[in-house]
Structure 1
Amino acid sequence: MRRRLTAIAAALAALLPAAAAATAPAHADEPPPPKDARVQWLDAHTLAWPKDLGTPTRPHHLTTTRGRYDLTRIPTGLTPAQRAAHPHLARAGYEAFLLDAHGAEKELLTGELRAETDDGVATGVQIPGVLDDLYAAAAGKKALGPVFDHRGRPTLSVWAPTARHVALELDDRTGPTTIPMHRDDASGVWSVTGPAAWKGRTYRYAVTVHVPSAGKTVTNHVTDPYSTALTADSAHSVVTDLADPALAPPGWRELRKPKAVPLRAAQIQELHIRDFSVADRTSRHPGQYLAFTDRDAAGPRHLRELAAAGTSYVHLLPAFDFATVPEKKAAQQGPACDLAALPADSDAQQKCVAATAAHDAYNWGYDPLHYTVPEGSYASDPDGPRRTLEFRAMVQGLAGAGLRTVMDVVYNHTAAAGQDDRSVLDRIVPGYYQRLLDDGAVATSTCCANTAPEHAMMGKLVVDSVVTWAKQYKVDGFRFDLMGHHPKANILAVRKALDALTPAKDGVDGRSIVLYGEGWNFGEVADDARFVQATQKNMAGTGIATFSDRSRDALRGGGPFDDDPRVQGFASGLYTDPNGDPVNGTPDQQRARLLHLQDLVKVGLTGHLAGYRFTDTSGKDVRGADVDYNGQPAGYAAAPGDALNYADAHDNESLYDALAYKLPQATPAADRARMQVLAMATTALSQGPALSQAGSDVLRSKSLDRNSYDSGDWFNAIHWDCHDGNGFGRGLPPAADNTAKWPYARPLLADPALRPGCDAVTAASAAYRDLLRIRTTEKAFALPTADAVQQQLSFPLAGRDETPGVVTMRLGGLVVVVNATPATQTQTVAALAGTRYALHPVQARGADPVVRSAAYAAGTGTFAVPGRTVAVFRQQAQEG
C-alpha cells in the first residue's frame, strides 16, 4: 500500500508545472536537512531572517525542491502588521526579505525548504505564518472530520495543505480499501464522500508529506484529528455520527440539567473518574463512566449530599482520549505486591507501583491523543462508540445527582510530536500545529510538545472541539489546562462560539456554560512575548475565571515547589501554633508574615478584586492590587468571578497532606479536621467561584504524594468508607517528585495518630457541608459587581491592632469570623454595639458542636469564636 501511494504522489508531482522563478533544479544528492529552522516564512511574500544569521551583504536564497529563489532584503524591515503579529521576532530584530515565487508558493510548501546565503549558511524554514496567510481564511470555514448529510452519507475531511497526496484507508467488510481524496486548493482541505454504508467502518488517512526533520517525503498512516470515535488504543478512527439515536442513553434527548449557576457563585468539586469509584466496594462499575449511574453506591451518594448542600459542578479531570493507559482491560497490569501488608513508611509500595505504572490503568490524562473522543479505558468496551454512550450516561447521572459537568481540557500540548506513533497533528501537517522555538525545536515548556493555538487551524481545532463537547455531550463548563499558553483571543473565540449555541438550534444554552483555567505566566510565551496571553491579569473582566494561587498559598503556607514542606501559613498554624521548624523563622518574623498572609486572605475573600479598598495590617489604606504576592499584585480581578479560589487540587499535596506536614505532629485528629474545614470554608465563603479536590471534605490523603499523576490507584483512590482509612500511610510516595521530602514524610507516615478515624472524617464532612449550605443560600456571598463588593463587604477590625490568625468580615447582614488560632478569640466591632446578631441557624442547628458555643454580646458588639473555627453570624430583626 505504501508503494502504491508513493507512486501516485510521484506521478502527481511530475504533472505539476515547474516554478517560473526556479533557477536550478533540486538534486537527489543534496546535503542532509539542516538541524535547525531559524528562518520564518511569514506570508506569501515575506521571510523573516535572524539578523545574526549569515553576512547581511551576501545574497540570500530560498532553496526548494523545485529550485532556488533569490530573496531581496526589505530595508524597512517587518511591517507594523507583521511586527504586531510576531512580536518576538520584532523584539529580536529579525530582518525582512521579499520572496517572489510567481504564484508557486503553495507548491513549494509541499517539498523541502532551505534558507541559504552565499557564505555557506543553511537553515530550515518555519512555515505556520505562510500557511495561515494562504489557507486560513478558506479553511476556517470548512467542517472537518466526519460530517453526515440528511441521507446519512458521510463526508470525511482533513486539513493537510502541505501534503502531496492524501488517501482514505477504509476498513470495508471485504477488507482494507484505499480511496483517493480530493484536495480543495483554496483551503488545503482533502475530503471524500461515501455511502451511508460507511457508518461504523474504521479508517485512517494515508498522508504523503515532506517531513523536514526526516529530510524526506513519507507516507504517514494517521487517525483523524477530528475523530468522533476510535477503536481500542486509538488504533483507528471510526466513522460515527454523534447524532445517531443508538448512541444516546434512555432519556438523553429530554435530559433536564440542574439550574445553571453563574460562575461567580459556582462551587466546584474536582474529580478524577477512576479515583471516584475504583476503591468503592459498593460500585457496580468501579473505575468507569457508568459508576456515576450507580445511585446506591457510596460515591454517588456522597455527591448527592454535596449537591444538596450547594455544590453545583463536578469538574472531571481529562476524559478525552489520552495516550498513556492501555484501554483493553486484559492488557492492563497491576502491582504484583501485597501493598497493604507493607509498613506505612516503606518505599516498597512506590517501587512496586512504579514497576507497572507504564502498563496499569492509571494516569491523570494530561497527555492528549484525540481531543474530541471520550477516553476508552473508562468505558466498559473501548472499541467504537460505546464510550460515547457511557460518557453521556455519566453526564446524565451527574445531572440526576443535582450536578452540572465541567471538563478539564488540555489543548496546550500533545502527547508527542514529529514522527512519534502518538503524534497525530504533526504527522499530518509537520511543523504547523506545534509551537516552535526560534531555532525550530518544538517548545516543551508545558512538560510535553506544546501546541500553537495562535495558529489559525490549531485555534479552530480548540473552538470546534469545545463546541462538540458542549453540543453532543451536554458538557456545562470547561477548565483550560495552562490557559496562559493560549492567546486571549483564542479563549474569547471559544466564549463567542459557545454563546451562539441555543436550546432551539443546538439543544444547549451556550451562554450558561462556564469557562475557567490556569492563567499562569511562564515559558516561551511569558509576558505576552508572542501574543496577548490568557493569563490572570489579561483575563480580568472577561467573565472567564483564572485559578488564584494567592489565597491558596496564604492558607496553606509556602509554595507548591518548596523543598521544605513545613512552611506554615494562615490555616496551618503559622505563629499561633508553630511546628518548630527553623524554616518558619523567629516568632517576630512569623507574626509579621502571618499578618501579611491575612491581607492576602482578605483579598481572596473579596474575589481578588484589584480595585477593592481596605486597611491592611500595617494600617495603610490600600487596594487589592497594592498587596504584594511574590512581587505581583495580589488583587488582579475586575469583577467577582474573574478569580477562582481553592485550597487544594489534583496538583501538589492534598490539603490533608499539606496540613500533615505543616501542623505540629502532635495535633489531634479532631483539630486537624477543623483546620481542614477552615481552609476549605475560607475559599468557599469568598466572592467568586471556589473549587475543592474531591474527597477533601472526608480528609482525603495521597500519602503525601505531591504529583500523583502516574502513582496508580494505591495512592490516588478516594476511600468513601472511612473504615478503609483516608489514604494516609500507604507508603512513601513515588521517588520522582517526592524524594527531597522523604526525611519529613517518614516519621509522619509511621505515626498512626495521623490516620484519622471515622469520627474526624464524618465531622469534617458535615461541618463543611453546613458552611457550604450557608454560602449557597446567602446571596451576599455571590455579589454581582466590584462596586457591590466594595459597598457590602468590609473588614471592620483591619489595621495595626488586628488579631494575628483571625479575620473578621462583615458582609451585608452577616459577620464571618475565621479563627485559625487554637484558642477562643473575641472580636469586638464597636460599630455593631446594640445590633442583634445570632449564630447562623444552619450552624446553630448543624453538625459541629464546637461552633455552637460561639457567642455574641450585643451590648458591646463582641463575637466570641472557638479555636480553629469559622463562624457565621446573621443579623436579627430589632425588637420593638
Structure 2
Amino acid sequence: MNKRAGISLNASSSTYEKQNSLFTAYWDDFNIITVMIHETASESLSFRLTDGQDWLPVSNIRELENEPVNQTIIQLQTVDPLNAGQEYFVVDQKGNSCLLLTGKVVRTEEFDRRYAYQKDDLGSILNGDRTIFKIWAPTAIQVKLNLYDKKQNFLRVLDLVREENGTWAHEEPGRLEGNYYRYLINVNGRWNKAVDPYAKALSVNGEFGVVLDLAKTNPPGWNPFHKPEFKNATDAIIYELHVRDFSIQSQSGMVHKGKYRALTEKHTKGPLNTTSGMDYLKDLGVTHVELLPIQDYGSVDESAAFPNYNWGYDPTHYFVPEGSYSTDPFDPVQRIKEVKEMVAAFHENGIRVIMDVVFNHIYIIEDSSLEKIVPGYYFRYDKGGKPSNGTGVGNDTASERFMMRKLMVDSVRFWIKEYGIDGFRFDLMGIHDIETMNVIRREIDEIDPSILMIGEGWNMHTILADDQKAKIEHASKMPGICHFNDRFRDAVKGKLFNQNDQGFATGNLFVKDQIVQCIMGSTNTLFSAPGQSINYVECHDNHTLWDRMLISNSFEEELIREKRHLLASALVLLSQGIPFIHAGQEFFRTKYGVENSYASPDEINQFDWQKKAGESRSVNYIKGLIQLRREHPCFRLQRKDQIREHLTFYEYCPSLLIYKLHHLKEIDSWNEVVVVHNAGIDLKKIQVDPLKNWHVVVDNDKAGVTALYSLEMNEITVSPLSTLVMYN
C-alpha cells in the first residue's frame, strides 16, 4: 500500500460536507471508489468511507498512475458492495469530506443486472379514480414531483417512494387529467428539475409533462391497426417528406401551412389547377411516406407565432409529437389529435406512414432529463470521462444498456399502438448495437411483421466495439432490417464526399459492374435478401441530385442533366430492393445549392408546387415507373434465389446495361421483361428475338403499363440517356 494512501481507523465525524476543494470521490464499480486529489499533497493522506451512520470497511487502497502529475488518484476497494440510492461520504484524516458521486458504476453490466426494470408502467397513468406516477431513478436519494393545474399554477409537492429495481412511485387520489407535472431528483448532492422521459403529453416547448387520458385524443372511428394492406418489404415505394416543407409554400393550395393538418386536407389545388397535397401523393402512387422527425425536438421555439425552421434531428422527448407542426402547441391534446388525424388520412388514401426516429443522441446532454435523472447512464463516455461523439452533435446514447434499449423499444411500441405508425427510419443506426436493433425487430414482429425497419447503417466512430455496431456491413446479422444502400447511391451519381465525382447515370461508365450488383439488390455483396436494400440517389441530407449535377455536370446543357436525372430515378424504381424517393425528386428538386439545409429558411426547403406544375412530363414519368413496379412483381422479387433464377444480364457495350427478367409464369402476368439503361450520349440499336411479340412500356420520358408501341422488327433503338422497358 502506498504510504500516501495510508488509512487511519481512529478519525470520526458526525457531520459531513458534500464537497471540498481538496478532493472529489466517484463510485466507479460496486466495490470501487476513485478519489481525485486536486493538488499535490505534501503529507500522507488517509481516507475513510461512511454512510453517515457507520464507518464502512475498506479492504484495499492504492495509488493509480495518472497525468497530469499535479493530480493524485487514489482507488479504494470496499469489503461489501455499495448500493445505489444511498448517500456515502469519503472523509480524509483531517475530517475533510465529500459526497461520493455516481461515476462509472452506472455503465457496468452489474448495474443493469441489479437495477434493470422490465415492467411497462413508467410515466403517469390514470387508473380509475387514482393517478399513478412512476420513474426509474436508481441513483437518486429522493424523488419529488411538483404538481401544477392546467394553467401551470403550482399546487403541491408529492413525495415518491422507492420501489423495486430503482423505481420511484406515488399514487395520488383523484384523476389528475390535464394537470402539469415535473420531477425533482436528488442525485449527486443536488436537486435536478426533470421532465418525465415517459411523459405521453407535454406543455409548449416540453417544459412540463401533462397527465392525459389518451383515449380522448382519438379521432372519430380511430383504429391504429386499420391500415393499407402490405405484405412484403420489396412492395414498398418510400417517399421522404418533411411536414412543414410540403405545405408551407403560398401556392401549395393547403390551408394549414406547415402543419400536420395540411396533410389531412382534401381536393387541394396548386398552380395551374394541378393536384396538390394528399391527393397528389395518392395519385403519384407511393406506398409509404417517410416523415422527417415528428417526435418532440428542441431546436424550434414552439411558442413563436412564426417558428424558425429545422429538420428536427434534435430530440428531447420520445413519446410525444413535435408541437411546432400543431395548430395549437399550447394545448397538450391538440398535437396528439392532429398526428392521429394525419395518420388516419394517409391510411384512408392507401399510404402507410414511416416516422424518422432519432434515438442515437439527445439535443443537449446537459439539459437532458435522462442525464438529470440518472447521470452518466444513458450515454457513452470515453476513457477520459468525456461523452462519446460519434454522432457529431455532442453525445451518443448507449443503446446497449438495458434501460436505454427499453426506452427505444417502449417508444416504438407506443407509436405503433397509439398512433398507428407503419415503419421506422433509424437515424444514424450505426451508433446503435446489433442486439438492440434485433430486439426491436422481434418486438415489432409480435405486433405486426409488415411494419418496416430501415436505417442508416453507417460506420460511426462511437465508443462501441466494431462487431456490435448495427452497420451495413453487418446486415446479415440483422434480418428484417433494411439499410440505406450507399453503394447504390454512389454508383449511380458519384461518391458522396467528392462532389465532382460521377456515377453511371451522370457519365462514369466504369462503374457499370457496381450497378449490376445494385440492380440485384446487392444480394451478392451486402444483403441476404433484396428487401434489406434501400435504393436511393437523394434524400434530405446533402445536395439534391439536381444540385449535385450542377457541380459534377456543370458543363452540360440543362436538357442533358434532366435526362440523366430521369435515368437515375429509373434505376432506383426498377432495381430489386426497396426504392426510396426524396420529395420533389420527381420534378428535379433544387435547394439552390445548399448542401445541408437543416436550418435553412422555407425559401430553400419548401416543396415547390410551382415547379411541380411546370414539370408535368417528368412527374408523369416517375408516376408511370411507380405504376409499373406496383403492378408487376418481377421488379420486386423477395429472395436472393429468385433473383439468381429470374434475372440475367447481357453484355453489349459500355454505355448499355441490359438485363432480362424471365421465366415469370408463376410470378407475373408477363412472360419476359427486358430492361435497357443507356447511360451514353448516343443512340444504340439492339437485336431482339423476332419470334416474340415485344411491347414497349417505357421509352424516353414516357412510362407506364400500357404499351407505347409494339416491335415489328427484330431491332429496337434506345435513345441516349434513357431507360427502355419491353415485355412479351
Report the CA distance shift for 1:34/1:314 in structure 2 as closer, same or farther (over 3 A).
farther
In structure 1, what is the Cα distance between the partners aligned to 2:24 and 2:695? 73
**How far off is 1:820 after superposition?**
1.8
Q: Residue 516 of structure 2: which of 602, 617, 634 is its match?
A: 602
Q: Residue 385 of structure 1: which of 333, 352, 360 is its match?
A: 333
**How far off is 1:45 after superposition?**
5.0
**How far off is 1:124 after superposition?**
8.3
Report the CA distance shift for 1:492/1:34 in structure 2 as closer, same or farther (over 3 A).
farther
**How far off is 1:872 after superposition?**
0.9
The equivalent residue for 1:660 is 550
Given that 2:264 and 2:278 are in contact with CA atoms closer than 8 Å, whether structure 1 keeps it comes out as: no
Report the CA distance shift for 1:22/1:811 in structure 2 as closer, same or farther (over 3 A).
farther
Give 3-state SS (helix, strand or coil) of 1:500's partner: helix
Report the CA distance shift for 1:811/1:453 in structure 2 as closer, same or farther (over 3 A).
same
In structure 2, what is the Cα distance between the partners aligned to 1:236 and 1:142? 21
Q: Deviation per CA, 1:776-811, whole angstroms, max 9, x where unpaired?
A: 1111111121111111112121xxxx4223211211
In structure 1, what is the Cα distance between the partners aligned to 2:562 and 2:707? 17
- The range that moved more, 424-433 or 272-281, is 272-281
The equivalent residue for 1:553 is 490
Q: Residue 161 of structure 2: which of 153, 163, 182 is its match?
A: 182
The equivalent residue for 1:469 is 415
- Whether 2:164 is the aligned partner of 1:203: answer no
In structure 2, what is the Cα distance between the partners aligned to 1:428 and 1:139? 15
Give 3-state SS (helix, strand or coil) of 1:321's partner: coil
Report the CA distance shift for 1:714/1:261 in structure 2 as closer, same or farther (over 3 A).
farther
The equivalent residue for 1:234 is 206
Tell me which amino acid in the other structure corresponds to 1:838.
H
The equivalent residue for 1:715 is 604
Q: Deviation per CA, 1:52-86, whole angstroms, max 9, x where unpaired?
A: xxxxxx99999687677646599xxxxxxxxxxxx
Give 3-state SS (helix, strand or coil) of 2:317's partner: strand
Q: Deviation per CA, 1:83-116, whole angstroms, max 9, x where unpaired?
A: xxxxxxxxxxxxxx995553542355x557899x
Q: Deviation per CA, 1:817-865, whole angstroms, max 9, x where unpaired?
A: 1112222222346xx464432213xx4798469x998885764xx4421
Report the CA distance shift for 1:327/1:857 in structure 2 as closer, same or farther (over 3 A).
same
Given that 1:208 and 1:220 are in contact with CA atoms closer than 8 Å, whether structure 2 keeps it comes out as: yes
Given that 1:815 and 1:873 are in contact with CA atoms closer than 8 Å, whether structure 2 keeps it comes out as: yes
Q: Deviation per CA, 1:473-492, whole angstroms, max 9, x where unpaired?
A: 00000000111111111111
In structure 2, what is the Cα distance between the partners aligned to 1:659 and 1:241? 51
In structure 1, what is the Cα distance between the partners aligned to 2:23 and 2:628? 64
The equivalent residue for 2:458 is 520
In structure 2, what is the Cα distance between the partners aligned to 1:410 and 1:36? 34
- The range that moved more, 99-108 or 404-413, is 99-108
In structure 2, what is the Cα distance between the partners aligned to 1:647 and 1:200? 46
Report the CA distance shift for 1:124/1:284 in structure 2 as closer, same or farther (over 3 A).
closer
Report the CA distance shift for 1:787/1:40 in structure 2 as closer, same or farther (over 3 A).
farther
**How far off is 1:367 after superposition?**
0.6
Q: Residue 645 of structure 1: which of 517, 530, 535 is its match?
A: 535
- TM-score norm. by structure 2 comes to 0.85
The equivalent residue for 2:351 is 403
The equivalent residue for 1:251 is 221
Given that 2:391 and 2:462 are in contact with CA atoms closer than 8 Å, whether structure 1 keeps it comes out as: no
- Whether 2:126 is the aligned partner of 1:148: answer yes
**Within-5 A mapping of 1:107-186:** 107=85, 110=87, 125-130=103-108, 133=111, 139-149=117-127, 151=128, 153-172=130-149, 175-184=154-163, 186=164
In structure 2, what is the Cα distance between the partners aligned to 1:61 and 1:867? 81
- Whether 2:319 is the aligned partner of 1:372: answer yes
The equivalent residue for 1:284 is 255
Tell me which amino acid in the other structure corresponds to 2:123.
G
Tell me which amino acid in the other structure corresponds to 1:129.
R
Tell me which amino acid in the other structure corresponds to 1:402.
G
- The range that moved more, 461-470 or 360-369, is 360-369
Tell me which amino acid in the other structure corresponds to 1:491.
M
Report the CA distance shift for 1:240/1:302 in structure 2 as closer, same or farther (over 3 A).
closer
Give 3-state SS (helix, strand or coil) of 2:529's partner: coil
Report the count of equivalent residues.
672
Which runs of no fewer than 5 residues in structure 2 stay unpaired? 1-8, 36-43, 63-74, 93-99, 663-671
The equivalent residue for 2:643 is 789
Q: Residue 312 of structure 1: which of 287, 299, 305 is its match?
A: 287
Report the CA distance shift for 1:653/1:256 in structure 2 as closer, same or farther (over 3 A).
same
Tell me which amino acid in the other structure corresponds to 1:219.
W
Q: Deviation per CA, 1:764-783, whole angstroms, max 9, x where unpaired?
A: 11111111111111111111
- Whether 2:625 is the aligned partner of 1:771: answer yes
Report the CA distance shift for 1:298/1:517 in structure 2 as closer, same or farther (over 3 A).
farther
Give 3-state SS (helix, strand or coil) of 2:244's partner: helix
Give 3-state SS (helix, strand or coil) of 2:319's partner: strand
- Whether 2:162 is the aligned partner of 1:192: answer no
**How far off is 1:652 after superposition?**
0.5
The equivalent residue for 2:41 is none
Q: Residue 380 of structure 2: which of 435, 445, 469 is its match?
A: 435
Tell me which amino acid in the other structure corresponds to 2:303.
K
The equivalent residue for 2:695 is 838
In structure 2, what is the Cα distance between the partners aligned to 1:534 and 1:443? 17
In structure 2, what is the Cα distance between the partners aligned to 1:414 and 1:439? 21
Give 3-state SS (helix, strand or coil) of 1:373's partner: coil
Report the CA distance shift for 1:140/1:703 in structure 2 as closer, same or farther (over 3 A).
same
**How far off is 1:365 after superposition?**
0.6
- The range that moved more, 300-309 or 372-381, is 300-309
Give 3-state SS (helix, strand or coil) of 1:146's partner: strand
Tell me which amino acid in the other structure corresponds to 1:237.
G
**Within-5 A mapping of 1:623-634:** none
The equivalent residue for 1:458 is 404
- Whether 2:728 is the aligned partner of 1:871: answer no
In structure 1, what is the Cα distance between the partners aligned to 2:129 and 2:645? 59
Report the CA distance shift for 1:846/1:238 in structure 2 as closer, same or farther (over 3 A).
same
Give 3-state SS (helix, strand or coil) of 1:641's partner: helix
**Within-5 A mapping of 1:609-620:** 609-610=523-524
- The range that moved more, 705-714 or 394-403, is 394-403
Given that 2:243 and 2:259 are in contact with CA atoms closer than 8 Å, whether structure 1 keeps it comes out as: yes
**How far off is 1:143 after superposition?**
1.9
The equivalent residue for 2:195 is 223
In structure 1, what is the Cα distance between the partners aligned to 2:627 and 2:372? 51
In structure 2, what is the Cα distance between the partners aligned to 1:324 and 1:208? 28
In structure 1, what is the Cα distance between the partners aligned to 2:485 and 2:659? 20
Give 3-state SS (helix, strand or coil) of 2:263's partner: helix
Tell me which amino acid in the other structure corresponds to 2:111.
D
**How far off is 1:406 after superposition?**
0.3
In structure 2, what is the Cα distance between the partners aligned to 1:414 and 1:62? 38
In structure 2, what is the Cα distance between the partners aligned to 1:687 and 1:156? 49
Report the CA distance shift for 1:573/1:104 in structure 2 as closer, same or farther (over 3 A).
closer
Give 3-state SS (helix, strand or coil) of 1:292's partner: helix
In structure 2, what is the Cα distance between the partners aligned to 1:364 and 1:159? 31
**How far off is 1:140 after superposition?**
2.0
Tell me which amino acid in the other structure corresponds to 2:486.
D
**How far off is 1:680 after superposition?**
1.3
In structure 1, what is the Cα distance between the partners aligned to 2:300 and 2:719? 48
- Whether 2:421 is the aligned partner of 1:484: answer no
In structure 1, what is the Cα distance between the partners aligned to 2:156 and 2:139? 24
Given that 1:61 and 1:71 are in contact with CA atoms closer than 8 Å, whether structure 2 keeps it comes out as: no
Tell me which amino acid in the other structure corresponds to 1:382.
P
Report the CA distance shift for 1:823/1:656 in structure 2 as closer, same or farther (over 3 A).
same
Give 3-state SS (helix, strand or coil) of 1:158's partner: strand
**Within-5 A mapping of 1:579-590:** none
**How far off is 1:871 after superposition?**
1.2
Give 3-state SS (helix, strand or coil) of 1:163's partner: coil
In structure 2, what is the Cα distance between the partners aligned to 1:34 and 1:514? 52
Which runs of no fewer than 5 residues in structure 1 stay unpaired? 1-20, 50-57, 75-96, 116-121, 211-216, 333-359, 502-509, 575-593, 611-634, 727-757, 876-880
Give 3-state SS (helix, strand or coil) of 1:791's partner: helix
Q: Deviation per CA, 1:442-486, whole angstroms, max 9, x where unpaired?
A: 112202221111111011000000000000000000000111111
The equivalent residue for 2:507 is 573
Report the CA distance shift for 1:410/1:113 in structure 2 as closer, same or farther (over 3 A).
farther
Tell me which amino acid in the other structure corresponds to 2:583.
A
- TM-score norm. by structure 1 comes to 0.71
Given that 1:262 and 1:514 are in contact with CA atoms closer than 8 Å, whether structure 2 keeps it comes out as: no
The equivalent residue for 2:469 is 533
